[in-house]
């Protein structure tokens, strides 16, 4: 006798119904999704283990995982494309920057740690990393708050190269892996701030042209929210949603990037499309950077072509700077930043 909440006929149902036409396949998938929505977590975990799939995650994550497994199987059997879009490589970046316990609105954040983690889609794992500290010039002495928050010492930044050299080293690292030449890749961040605030602000301080690789990226919070049908979460809460513990030290840029990579790899494994969903609008940004009295934490449409003005939310250790204009490729930007 079947256990309450189980779907004893689900596999047979997958095999038994016609998949000759796409409309039949999608109707069938809709029925299967309805069955999965009615399953208990215990039943879903049992099914996932039977299929040799991960059983980590809360109930919503597990349901999404199971639905996407059957979707992939059904579309494959019907010779239909799965429509999952992935690039060969992803480079996860998570900067650490100078800060005070309480920052004035125009505080010039300077990047003091430039970390990156390289994820291979084919290998489904992290294959390399880059890390360098940067010596700040505007505020060369780190605040006690900044050192405690990031774990970066004054001695480490004093001995480091300035940002222009570190950026050259990073671009050489990209070239070593033939990223952007032989292999397609894109940047992945946890939120819009790494590129829209820190990279942009640092390039202005250093008198550098904004780098090509940083003009578009994947905001993993949006991808996660859209795929698992949940609200937008911080890195800590995304990991908790997946029932994963943070590994390493929070606010160590390299450890943060490695944990973002773990989220990204789980999204890949569960069948998410992982594509660019934000890019910087440099011309509009120059205009908007003159404005200083917008409300915090709100995404505001700028034009009909969907650039958005992001008035960056003040967080612990960070302050609102000049407003960054981001062109969003998602329809989720009517919500507040988290």
pLDDT per residue over 284-297, tens digit each? 666 666 654 433 33
Nearest to 62 by CA among 228, 238, 268: 228
Is pLDDT of 299 > 90?
Answer: no
Tell me if residue 96 is catalytic.
yes
Let me know if residue 245 belongs to a domain: yes
Let me know if residue 313 belongs to a domain: no
**Domain co-membership, 213 together with 65:** no
Token pair, residue 165, equals 């050299």
- Total domain count for the chain? 2
| Burial annotation 115-152 (CB, 10 A radius, 16+ → b, else e) | bbbbbbbeeeebeebbbbbbbbeebeebeeebeebbbb
Query: Strands, DSSP E only, in 94-236?
Result: 96-97, 111-120, 125-133, 185-189, 216-219
Higher per-residue confidence, 127 vs 8: 127
Phi, psi of 320 (to 5 degrees): -70, 130
pLDDT per residue over 93-137, tens digit each? 999 999 999 888 889 999 999 999 999 999 999 999 999 999 999
Tell me if residue 129 is catalytic.
no
Element containing residue 324 per DSSP (H, E)? strand 324-328
Check 96, 110, 113, 278 and give the catalytic one. 96
Nearest to 95 by CA among 145, 128, 155, 136: 136
**Domain co-membership, 55 together with 139:** no
Mean pLDDT of 238-243: 96
Pick from 32-36, 61-65, 73-77: least confident: 73-77
Q: How confident is the model at residue 19 (pLDDT cuts 50, 70, 90)?
A: very low
**Domain co-membership, 75 together with 170:** no
**Domain co-membership, 109 together with 237:** yes
Instruction: Give the per-residue pLDDT at 235.
Output: 97
Higher per-residue confidence, 45 vs 18: 45
Element containing residue 169 per DSSP (H, E)? helix 163-176
Domain with 52 in it: 41-83
**Domain co-membership, 52 together with 193:** no
- Last residue of one domain, picked from the residues 56, 83, 110: 83
Higher per-residue confidence, 58 vs 19: 58
Instruction: Give the per-residue pLDDT at 25.
Output: 86
Nearest to 90 by CA among 338, 258, 329: 258
DSSP 203-232: HHHHT-PPPGGGSEEEEHHHHHHHHHT---
**Domain co-membership, 136 together with 273:** yes
- Last residue of one domain, picked from the residues 20, 53, 83: 83
How much is the pTM? 0.81
Instruction: Give the per-residue pLDDT at 289.
Output: 61
Check 109, 177, 251, 279 and give the catalytic one. 251
**Domain co-membership, 202 together with 140:** yes
pLDDT per residue over 302-314, tens digit each? 222 333 333 333 2
């Amino acid at each position: 006798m079947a256990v309450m909440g189980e779907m004893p006929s689900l596999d047979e149902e997958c095999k038994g119904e016609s998949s000759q036409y796409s409309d039949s396949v999608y109707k069938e998938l809709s029925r299967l999704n309805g069955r999965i929505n009615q399953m208990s977590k215990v039943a879903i975990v049992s099914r996932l283990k039977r299929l040799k799939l991960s059983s980590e995650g809360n109930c919503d994550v597990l349901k999404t995982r199971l639905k996407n497994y059957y979707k992939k199987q059904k579309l494959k059997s019907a010779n239909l494309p799965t429509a999952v879009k992935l690039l060969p490589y992803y480079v996860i970046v998570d900067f650490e920057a100078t800060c005070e316990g309480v920052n004035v609105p125009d505080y010039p954040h300077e990047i003091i740690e430039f970390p990156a983690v390289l994820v291979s889609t084919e290998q489904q794992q992290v294959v390399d990393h880059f890390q360098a500290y940067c010596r700040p010039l505007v505020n060369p002495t780190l605040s006690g708050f900044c050192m405690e928050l990031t774990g970066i010492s004054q001695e480490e930044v004093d001995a480091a190269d300035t940002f222009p050299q570190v950026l050259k080293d990073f671009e050489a690292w990209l070239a070593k892996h033939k990223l952007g030449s032989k292999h397609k890749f894109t940047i992945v961040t946890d939120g819009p701030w790494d590129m829209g605030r820190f990279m942009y602000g640092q390039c202005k301080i250093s008198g550098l042209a904004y780098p090509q690789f940083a003009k578009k990226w994947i905001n993993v919070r949006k991808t996660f929210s859209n795929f698992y049908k949940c609200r937008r979460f911080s890195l800590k809460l995304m990991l908790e949603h997946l029932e994963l513990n943070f590994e390493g030290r929070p606010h160590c840029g390299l450890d943060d990037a490695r944990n973002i990579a773990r989220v990204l790899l789980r999204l890949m494994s569960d069948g998410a499309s992982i594509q660019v969903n934000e890019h910087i609008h440099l011309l509009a940004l120059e205009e908007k950077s003159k404005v200083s009295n917008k409300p915090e934490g709100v995404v505001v449409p700028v034009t009909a072509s969907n650039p958005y003005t992001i008035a960056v939310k003040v967080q612990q250790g960070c302050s609102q700077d000049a407003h960054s204009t981001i062109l969003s490729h998602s329809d989720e930007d009517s919500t507040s930043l988290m």
